[in-house]
Amino acid sequence: MKTIHKEKWLFIGSDRRLEICSKLFEGMGIPSAHFNSNAYSEELGQLIASFQPGHIVFPILEMQGNIPPELLATGTKLYVGVASEQWADIYQSSGYQVVRYLQEELFIWENAILTAEGFLREFYNGSNRCINGKHFYVTGFGKVGKMTAKAIQALGGKVTVVARSEAQLSEAVSLGYSIQSIQKDFSEEDTVLVNTIPAQWLFLQNHSPLRVYDLASAPGCLKPGSFAEYYTIHLGLPGKHFPDDAAQVLAEALLRME
């Protein structure tokens, strides 16, 4: 039987947050290692066999391939980001505990704040315009939508919240935002739409002047057949713009889930 070292952490992935997390753990006196790849390999297997971690943090997105369960010591705890049930079941069916760190409640809120600030940076860099006095549609009013709307409003922007949920629309009104039905045709709008809805719901005609910043997960919000000259998708904004802050948020979440 392999010996498990519960205090040892292994971080896997090329996202800078994971590398920085490993260094943060080392700084706290927690034995840690980082493997800079998003795919399983024989080299990774050799590292696991020699290091024998008690905690393994997988890449933000689903890792290519799986670590053979027989390489893992009994009791190893696994932390995954975005991963299918089929991928995760290989470990769960072998008796390993799998925790989804992207679903930890406080982490979601803190990550949403960083995502909203990341959007501001993308907007400034992409438009060279200020936010004060401009009109923004924010579609979806979950955590990222709420934080994005709040950031825009704080800088003097006018926010219209677009959502399907009556509860979300009612909450938006109570917070002082204008609201709009998601059925609206946005094709002729010469303004900015910030999407946080993880579904293909938006159809745009060719040459639409609408600027779309998509913060939701791939494949984005555009319906098949849409033509959007000013559409951009922005994934992983916390890690892209604020890797040290994002790593600190992730490290704290992992320690809460330990």
H or E stretch including 123?
A: helix 105-127
Q: How many CB atoms lie within 10 A of CB 10?
A: 23
pLDDT in tens, 127-174: 999 999 999 999 999 999 999 999 999 999 999 999 999 999 999 999
CATH architecture of the domain with range 5-103: 3-Layer(aba) Sandwich (3.40)
For 154, counting Cβ atoms within 10 Å of its Cβ (0-12 exposed, 13-18 middle, 19+ buried), the class is: exposed
Q: Where are the domains of the chain?
A: 5-103, 108-239
Q: Which tokens is 43 given?
A: 């080299």
Domain 108-239 has CATH 3.90.660.10: no
Q: What is the mean pLDDT of residues 217-241?
A: 90
Q: Which tokens is 169 given?
A: 């629309």
Are 5-103 and 108-239 the same fold in CATH? yes
Predicted model pTM: 0.89
Could you tell me which residues come within 8 angstroms of residue 150 by beta carbon, excluding any fewer than 6 positions away? 116
Answer for the pair 119, 194: CB distance below 8 angstroms, yes or no: yes
pLDDT in tens, 52-64: 999 999 999 999 9
Quote the pLDDT of residue 227.
Answer: 82
**Calpha distance 205→221 (Å, rounded):** 14
pLDDT in tens, 233-247: 998 899 999 999 999
DSSP letter for 258, please.
Answer: -
Which phi-psi region, left, alpha or beta, contains residue 22 (left: φ > 0; alpha: ψ -120 to 50)? Answer: alpha
